């Protein structure tokens, strides 16, 4: 597939667009579903920095993804975009959505930069490292929680969250996190 991206880029782009159209058709039920909150979760596998070039990302990944996202927004559904891996070179593209209509979760990104670029466009979340919760010291957890809140919360559009799923954490670190969050009430 990676070699094909170079030799058959236009053909692959057409197929990606076709898949986007199929996805939009499959998601039509959301506009009629009697749900109090309508969100669609998208884990972005293989979209991270360095996996494909910025040009390929724009043409083969972002363009069809954005097409699906905009269709969902038109249906009154909030796209919940869950980025995996580093996503710093993709932030400008992620900002190219209607204001207040998308939630982006980050596994690994400079949250200060994410807030700067996306803060007036979308809600952001994530980036509290699981490894810190599992292996870090209590003081490190407190410091990082404060950093995230102080950096991302001003002006709204931020949901405090981990970088991924939390499974094996130290109880003292979990307590430190909740105690820190309580100080920001």
Residue-wise DSSP of 41-80: EEEETT-STTTS-HHHIIIIIIHHHHHHHHHHHHTT-EEE
Q: Are 76 and 16 in the same domain?
A: yes
Residue 141 lies in domain: 129-185
Asked whether the beta carbons of 181 and 147 are under 8 A apart, the reply is: no
pLDDT of residue 93: 95
Q: Are residues 87 and 136 in the same domain?
A: no
125 is written with which tokens?
């979340």
Please indicate, yes or no, whether residues 37 and 97 belong to a single structural domain of this protein.
yes
> In the predicted model, is pLDDT for residue 50 greater than 90?
no
Confidence of residue 3 (pLDDT cuts 50, 70, 90): low
pLDDT at 167: 87
Specify the number of domains making up the chain: 2
Q: Are residues 107 and 162 in the same domain?
A: no
Lookup: tokens for 104: 């982006």
**Given 99, 127, 155, which residue is the final one in a domain?**
127
Q: Does one domain contain both 50 and 89?
A: yes
Q: What is the average pLDDT across 36-59?
A: 88
pLDDT tens digits, 83-123: 999 999 999 999 999 999 999 999 999 999 999 999 999 99
pLDDT (average), residues 150-172: 95
């Amino acid at each position: 597939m990676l070699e094909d991206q170079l030799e058959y880029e236009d053909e692959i782009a057409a197929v990606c667009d076709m898949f986007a159209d199929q996805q939009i058709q499959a998601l039509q039920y959301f506009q009629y579903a009697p749900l109090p909150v309508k969100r669609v979760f998208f884990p972005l596998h293989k979209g991270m920095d360095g996996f494909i070039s910025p040009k390929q990302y724009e043409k083969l990944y972002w363009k069809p993804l954005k097409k699906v996202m905009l269709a969902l927004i038109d249906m009154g559904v909030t796209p919940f975009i869950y980025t995996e891996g580093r996503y710093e070179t993709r932030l400008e593209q992620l900002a190219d959505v209607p204001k207040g209509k998308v939630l982006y979760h980050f596994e690994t990104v400079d949250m200060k930069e994410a807030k700067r670029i996306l803060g007036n466009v979308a809600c952001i979340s994530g980036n509290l490292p699981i490894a810190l919760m599992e292996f870090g010291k209590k003081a490190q957890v407190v410091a990082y929680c404060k950093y995230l809140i102080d950096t991302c919360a001003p002006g709204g559009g931020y949901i405090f969250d981990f970088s991924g799923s939390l499974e094996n954490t130290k109880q003292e670190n979990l307590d430190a996190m909740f105690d820190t969050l309580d100080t920001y009430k």
